[in-house]
């Protein structure tokens, strides 16, 4: 299931734990197998952050061997090329940087809102709040990038709250983190608000507004305030996206829960249908009863493995099960009775 996902997770966990890995048959079942430019960009970024040694890092390669070295505090610029996903690139390095030795700054050019990856508003407003338990994280989007041209621009700064010092044993580091904070959620607090962002390219007239109106209508049955902001901007390829997130409990407290959903605009599909689909997806996540939505669940696995805790889930996916299997090659995490928990 998903050779690209397995590679991304393995890279981040390898950098964090110091364990080397090899992966073969990369995307072997795809029409064009092997590494694509966006996968290679993730490998190269890991190298640049750590001076790690890699074998097989080339376009089309179906085997890669990675010998990790310790992450450094660095400022880097990355151009993924065309509309390669910025959020998937960030997912690759997050475990090692959030639980790292120092501040990392990145300037990334690529796709901010592209198919088969989390939109940048989901990354910023759903995933990042969970990770702010462990690091100061600032995300600035200066330009959106849609498929196929991309050219979106994002700047990210990450400063760990728990510094993984040179020479420190991983078990000692984990104990330090777990003593201070974890990802333990026993139940979901009360729904207090739904927020969202609807964005469209400048030339798409009132598309962002129509997406937002439709999404609001689809969420009108919820007994909480619903606020969806609309934005327009210059983009290299036209596109639109709507991202919604439900906030449970006080967002300033450690047990608050955020569930998200999103929908990319699509040629030939009315803006109203895009907004309605996003609202339906969020409603489904809310009804599931979990403390993480179906997309966040697989993204959060490495952090539960490091920091400890337990996370009741509403929906189980193949991506989640794959990520649990991959992370277990480096650290221990379990998935039982629709609950993700550390060992």
Q: Which own/partner pairs from 266-269 qualify as long-range (CB within 8 Å, at least 24 positions apart)? A: none
CB 274 within 8 A of CB 240: yes
Rounded Cα gap, residues 96 and 79, in angstroms: 20
> What does each C-alpha distance from 215 to 131, 136, 211, 226, 272 come to in angstroms?
27, 31, 6, 10, 8
CB 98 within 8 A of CB 69: no
Exactly one of 24, 39, 295, 319 is catalytic; which is it? 319
Instruction: Give the position of tokens 């489904």.
Output: 284
CA max distance for the chain: 56
Phi, psi of 207 (to 5 degrees): -60, -45
End-to-end CA distance of the chain: 24
DSSP 251-296: TTSTT-EEEEEEEE--TTS-HHHHHHHHHHHHHHHHHHT-SS-HHH
With b meaning 16 or more CB within 10 Å and e meaning fewer, what string describes 236-251?
bbebbbbbbbbbbbee
- 38 closest CA partner among 101, 73, 83: 83
CB 164 within 8 A of CB 173: yes
Decide if 319 is catalytic.
yes
Residues designated as active site: 319
């Amino acid at each position: 299931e998903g050779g690209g996902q397995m590679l991304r997770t393995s890279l981040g966990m390898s950098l964090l734990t110091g364990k080397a890995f090899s992966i073969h048959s990369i995307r072997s079942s795809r029409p064009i197998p092997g590494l694509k430019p966006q996968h290679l960009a993730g490998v190269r970024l890991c190298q640049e952050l750590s001076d790690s040694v890699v074998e097989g890092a080339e376009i089309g390669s179906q085997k890669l061997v990675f010998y990790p070295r310790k992450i450094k505090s660095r400022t880097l610029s990355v151009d993924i090329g065309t509309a390669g996903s910025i959020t998937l690139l960030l997912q690759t390095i997050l475990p090692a940087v959030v639980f790292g030795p120092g501040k990392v700054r990145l300037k990334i050019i690529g796709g901010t809102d592209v198919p088969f990856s989390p939109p940048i508003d989901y990354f910023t407003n759903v995933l990042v709040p969970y990770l702010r338990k462990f690091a100061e994280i600032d995300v600035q989007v200066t330009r959106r990038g849609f498929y196929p041209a991309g050219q979106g621009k994002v700047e990210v700064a990450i400063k760990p709250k728990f510094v993984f010092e040179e020479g420190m044993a991983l078990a000692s580091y984990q104990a330090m983190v777990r003593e201070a904070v974890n990802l333990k959620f026993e139940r979901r607090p009360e729904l207090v608000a739904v927020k969202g962002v609807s964005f469209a390219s400048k030339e798409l007239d009132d598309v962002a507004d129509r997406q937002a109106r439709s999404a609001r209508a689809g969420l009108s049955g919820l007994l909480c305030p619903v606020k969806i902001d609309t934005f327009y901007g210059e983009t290299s390829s036209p596109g639109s996206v709507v991202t919604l997130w439900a906030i449970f409990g006080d967002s300033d407290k450690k047990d608050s829960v955020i569930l998200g959903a999103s929908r990319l605009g699509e040629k030939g599909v009315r803006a109203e249908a895009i907004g309605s689909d996003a609202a339906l997806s969020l409603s489904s996540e809310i009804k599931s009863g979990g403390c993480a939505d179906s997309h966040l669940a697989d993204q959060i696995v490495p952090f539960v493995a490091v920091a400890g805790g337990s996370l009741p889930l509403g929906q189980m996916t193949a991506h989640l099960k794959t990520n649990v299997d991959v992370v277990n090659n480096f650290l221990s995490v379990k998935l039982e009775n629709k609950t993700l928990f550390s060992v």
